[in-house]
Chains A and B, each alone.
Chain A
Amino acid sequence: MQIVSENETLTVYLSGEIDHHSAKPLREKTDQVLLLKSPALLVLDFSGVSFMDSSGVGFVMGRYKKAASIHCKTAVTGLKARDRKIMALSGLERLVEFR
């Protein structure tokens, strides 16, 4: 995982497998930097993710809530077709921009 802060945008580059086990450190690290930088836009980049289950959805939902609480928008990018299908089950597309 790599986090890049540029102007008013915070981009989180996720990689490897996202499941219930691996989501916890990703969540903690992202929230820590998010609150520190307080950006206008949070981008979650899934290009490097080789596997995800519904924990990936939980990760996005949680970050969306956290970001919204500091008036920050959330966008998701780089999702593979099947992972997008999993995200779609949640109705998150109404709240988060999928690029």
Chain B
Amino acid sequence: MKKRNEVKIVFPSRSVNEGFSRAAVAAFVAVCDPTVEELSDIKTAVSEAVTNAVVHAYPDREGSVTVTVTVYDTNVVKIRVRDKGVGIEDVQKAREALFTTAGDDRSGLGFTVMESFSDKLQVRSKPGKGTAVTITKRITGKRAG
């Protein structure tokens, strides 16, 4: 798999950037000619990953969130959302549906939604060091249809 293109977006962990980041990723992957459905899947998964970073990574301060999008020649898209926040103690537990530590009307479905709308989801986290979520999706695109 050869890299076709890549972009890195860095922004502060403010909730107003949730909308910006999913729109930016959607614009970048447009080169793969995704269907409307595929584009919605990507926007939803990115929104969940970035929201997790905004809500959980930096409980008492503002920190940075880095989104790296890589498009491969095989029309595979990898989106990595990384923070340098508090990390996740138990990743397996965090990935369980309906589990949340946030309260405040959080559904606890973030990882479940990311899994449903991507082909592969990898979560790496170290308490005190931060979390990196990698979403992989193959774009079948309009050409295939």
Q: Which residues of A contact B (CB under 8 A)?
A: 17, 19-23, 27, 51, 53-55, 57-59, 61-62, 82, 85-86, 89-91
Contacts and interface: CB of A to CB of B under 8 A. Distances in A.
B16 A89 contact: no
Contacts of A58: 105-107
B109 A20 contact: no
Main secondary structure of the interface of A (DSSP, over half): helix
Contacts of B64: none
Interface in B51-69: 51, 54-55
Contact of A86 (B18, B44, B55): B44
B98 to A, nearest CB: 7
A22 B105 CA distance: 13
Main secondary structure of the interface of B (DSSP, over half): helix
B16 A23 contact: no
Given A21-B15, A27-B105, A58-B105, A82 B40 contact: yes
A55 B97 CA distance: 14
B48 A53 contact: yes
Contacts, number: 65
10 contacts: A20-B15, A20-B106, A23-B105, A53-B44, A55-B51, A55-B106, A57-B109, A89-B113, A90-B109, A91-B98
Contacts of B109: 54, 57, 86, 89-90
Given A53-B113, A61-B105, 19 more contacts: A17-B19, A20-B18, A21-B15, A21-B16, A21-B18, A22-B19, A51-B40, A51-B43, A53-B44, A54-B107, A55-B51, A55-B105, A55-B107, A58-B105, A82-B40, A82-B44, A86-B113, A86-B116, A90-B98
A57 B48 CA distance: 12
A85 B109 CA distance: 12
B44 A20 contact: no
Interface string B10-42: 000001101100000000000000000100100
